[in-house]
Amino acid sequence: MPRSKEQFEEMRNVTREKIHSAAMQLFVNQGFGSTNVQDIADTAGISIGLLYRHYKNKDQLFNELVAYAVGGLKRNITFFESDQSPKKLMAQFVHEVYTDMISGEELTHLLILINQSLLAGAATASKHYEEILQVNARLLDSTAQLIRKGQERGEFHSGDAQEMAALFYASIQGLAQMKVILKSNYTMPSPSILTAFLFKERE
């Protein structure tokens, strides 16, 4: 029986997911410059011709992955700007980061991919370079504002909120790098460790 339009679309989506997963793995572990289209096709388990039906080159694929990551950062900004308890919002965010990093590679790879785009962006005129800079700055500011609210409510330790936000994201980014380097020897710190410098203990 001929395949329906929906079946073709499902097959297309499955193939794109394979390509995304393979590309992220290779970009993170051996770098954008050292990865070629044939590497991505081989890792995805598809022909190079099929890959070219989806992407004309690896730059287009890289930019699509970065755009996906930037979308995640924007959702985090919206999340932190909600009216819920700062401690509850931060605890939920850290729990999601912890769960994602112990259950798979996607978050780790996306974090490193964003950094790669920033480091190479000025030299390669990355399509999303300026946008990533702006979104990162907004995320840092919204997190610092959340920390200030938590401090005002007595939920967070005192201190410079901007510095605390920078330390928080530096910790997560560093953990992503360690996870890639150490592989099976990596141990993800618990959510309580990640928030120890932020949350006040109940009195």
The confidence score (pLDDT) of residue 52 equals 96
Is 135 in contact with 77 (CB distance < 8 Å)? yes
Quote the distance between the C-alpha of residue 107 and its chain's center.
Answer: 5
The confidence score (pLDDT) of residue 202 equals 67
Domains observed in the chain: 1-55 (1.10.10.60), 58-195 (1.10.357.10)
Q: Which token pair is 60?
A: 């287009």
Spatial distance between the Cα atoms of 145 and 90, rounded to a whole number of angstroms: 12
Band of pLDDT at residue 31, cut at 50, 70 and 90: confident
The confidence score (pLDDT) of residue 126 equals 58
Angstrom CA distances, 154 to 85, 149, 157, 194, stand at 11, 9, 7, 19
Q: How many CB atoms lie within 10 A of CB 150?
A: 23
Residue with the bigger pLDDT between 25 and 127: it is: 25
Band of pLDDT at residue 121, cut at 50, 70 and 90: low
Band of pLDDT at residue 152, cut at 50, 70 and 90: very high
What tens digit of pLDDT does each residue of 61-90 get? 988 998 999 999 999 999 999 999 999 999
The confidence score (pLDDT) of residue 131 equals 87
Band of pLDDT at residue 44, cut at 50, 70 and 90: very high
Spatial distance between the Cα atoms of 34 and 192, rounded to a whole number of angstroms: 38
What tens digit of pLDDT does each residue of 123-137 get? 454 567 888 889 999
Residue % of the chain over a pLDDT of 70:
94
Cα radius of gyration (the chain): 19
Residue 199 forms beta bridges with which residues?
Answer: 156
Of 128, 122, 164, 133, give the one whose Cα is nearest residue 146. Answer: 164
In terms of average pLDDT, the best of 102-106, 120-124, 164-168, 179-183 is 164-168
The confidence score (pLDDT) of residue 165 equals 98
Q: What's the average model confidence in pLDDT over 38-63?
A: 94
Q: What pTM was computed for the model? A: 0.88
